[in-house]
Amino acid sequence: MAVSVLQLEAWLSEALAAKQKLMIGGGVRRVQGPSGEVEFTEANMDRLDAWITKLQGWIANGGMPTAAGLSSHRPIRFSF
């Protein structure tokens, strides 16, 4: 299932809001993503920063890559 850029932007907005709340001492924040909900605290804010960077990259590239990280438009080659 493809994830739309609109969905990625919604996740990015949620992640940025969570980071802002953590920065001002908001405790635990929960953020949605393709695998479900993830909890972030000040102790693992680096993971939240990585998630924000990943979302920004996907949005800049026009969407999230397929599960294998490959474009679905590549040719298939067989070796025997």
| pLDDT number for residue 46 | 87
| pLDDT number for residue 70 | 46
> Per-domain residue ranges for the chain?
5-60
Quick check: pTM over 0.85? no
Phi, psi (rounded to 5 degrees) for 2: -80, 145
List, run by run, the mean pLDDT of 10-residue segments along the chain (80 residues): 85 90 79 78 84 92 68 57
CB atoms within 10 A of CB 65: 13
| pLDDT number for residue 8 | 92
CATH T-level fold of 5-60: Head-to-tail joining protein W, gpW (3.30.1580)
